[in-house]
């Protein structure tokens, strides 16, 4: 929402069937995009698409794509609805990996991509067209999504990636343009409901997820969440996680991850407490849950062992070693000095006796 166009680096790992991503500079991308202004734009100062349409009304969105490279490229494009990942970050792609709630109007269903694949010669510019049709009935709040434009991997690189080890990494570059459709009325009061706690494993790490369901058609911004786990009827906190300045997409589920910090799970009954705050709105949820013997055993068996950080210990040992070395040097120096003084005193005594 905050950036005009967010450029993402999609890291395709052959052992997995999905893309993860991180921000990259536009200089890393072979192409650039330019979303042309829409006459249906609500806020002209915004650079992403921020639209208002009447029920069933249709309009076209046009994005210019320029190949900056000296070789031809192929561009793939799609539209997806907004979701929220477990880190409290809104995503505009791979919605199948995330959960939604009360999603009456799905941006994927409202937008038709005219050309899903676009071939560009070196230095060539072409246009991508997207047709968006408003829902049949008026709605409150916003429908949120994004236009994703990525460079297709060359076939030989794709084939070679399949032949490499499972740890091989391929880089795929692209852009996401936020797409917001406003309803008849603005929603100003967010509604968050708790979901059922899930005990599972993510990337080899044991995880206790406390779902937060944003059932309202609005973004929840500057969202601060604090979650803790303790044994039922006990005061000692076993696990705790805090995230500040997060964001939750409309009609999305934020599976808040209360991290176990690599510790093994123990079977038993637990109580989870979660507090959330956004711009003066506050929520507090408490939920009891049980970790069965089987669940604990199965997850602990496949969990990645925690790698302990011995940096502090190494630093203490280094300092002690240096101090010990200095002590030995000083001791030897003083000992030699004393020897010299003793020898000098003996020589003076001999001279006195001789005289």
pLDDT digits (tens, 9 = 90+) for 72-98: 999 999 999 999 999 999 999 999 999
Query: Which pLDDT band holds residue 355 (cuts at 50, 70, 90)?
Result: low
The Cα–Cα gap between 80 and 178 comes to: 10
Judge whether residue 11 has pLDDT over 80.
no
Q: Between 311 and 328, where is the model more confident? A: 328
Judge whether residue 224 has pLDDT over 50.
yes
Per residue in 103-158, pLDDT tens?
A: 999 999 999 999 999 999 999 999 999 999 999 999 999 999 999 999 998 765 55
- Compute the mean pLDDT over every residue in the chain, rounded to the nearest whole number: 86
Beta bridge partners of 35: 63
60-74 burial, b at 16+ Cβ within 10 Å, e below that, comes to ebebebebeeeeebe
Mean pLDDT to the nearest integer, 50-64:
97
Beta bridge partners of 232: none
pLDDT at residue 15, as a whole number: 25
Against a cut of 0.85, is the pTM above it? no
Judge whether residue 229 has pLDDT over 90.
yes
Per residue in 264-312, pLDDT tens?
A: 999 999 999 999 999 999 999 999 999 999 999 999 998 875 555 567 8
Mean pLDDT to the nearest integer, 243-266:
94
**Helix, strand or coil, per DSSP, at residue 330:** helix
Q: Which of 16-20, 232-236, 318-322 has the highest mean pLDDT?
A: 232-236
pLDDT at residue 353, as a whole number: 67
**Helix, strand or coil, per DSSP, at residue 225:** strand
């Amino acid at each position: 929402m905050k950036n005009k166009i967010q450029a993402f680096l999609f890291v395709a790992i052959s052992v997995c069937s999905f893309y993860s991503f991180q921000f990259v500079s536009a200089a890393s991308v072979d192409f650039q995009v330019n979303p042309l202004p829409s006459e249906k734009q609500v806020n002209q100062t915004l650079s992403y698409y921020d639209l208002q349409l009447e029920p069933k009304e249709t309009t076209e969105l046009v994005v210019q794509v320029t190949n900056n490279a000296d070789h031809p490229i192929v561009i793939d494009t799609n539209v997806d609805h907004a979701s929220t990942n477990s880190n409290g970050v809104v995503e505009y792609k791979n919605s199948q990996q995330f959960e939604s709630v009360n999603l009456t109007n799905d941006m994927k269903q409202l937008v038709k991509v005219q050309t899903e694949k676009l071939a560009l010669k070196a230095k060539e510019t072409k246009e991508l067209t997207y047709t968006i049709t408003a829902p049949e009935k008026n709605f409150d709040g916003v429908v949120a999504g994004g236009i994703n434009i990525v460079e297709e991997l060359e076939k030989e690189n794709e084939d070679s990636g399949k032949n490499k080890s499972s740890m091989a990494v391929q880089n795929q570059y692209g852009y996401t343009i936020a797409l917001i459709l406003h309803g008849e009325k603005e929603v100003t009061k967010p509604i968050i409901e708790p979901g059922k706690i899930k005990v599972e494993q993510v990337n080899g790490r044991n995880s206790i997820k406390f779902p937060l369901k944003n059932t309202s058609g609005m973004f929840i911004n500057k969202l601060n969440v604090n979650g803790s786990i303790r044994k039922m009827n006990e005061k000692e906190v076993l696990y705790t996680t805090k995230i500040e300045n997060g964001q939750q997409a409309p009609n999305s589920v934020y599976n808040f991850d209360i991290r176990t910090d690599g510790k093994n799970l123990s079977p038993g009954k637990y109580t989870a407490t979660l507090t959330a705050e956004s711009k003066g709105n506050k929520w507090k949820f408490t939920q009891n849950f049980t970790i069965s013997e089987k669940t604990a055993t199965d997850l602990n068996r496949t969990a990645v062992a925690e790698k302990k950080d011995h940096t502090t210990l190494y630093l203490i040992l280094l300092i002690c070693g240096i101090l010990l070395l200095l002590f030995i040097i000083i001791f030897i120096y003083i000992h030699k000095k004393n020897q010299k003084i003793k020898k000098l005193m003996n020589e003076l005594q001999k001279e006195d006796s001789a005289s």
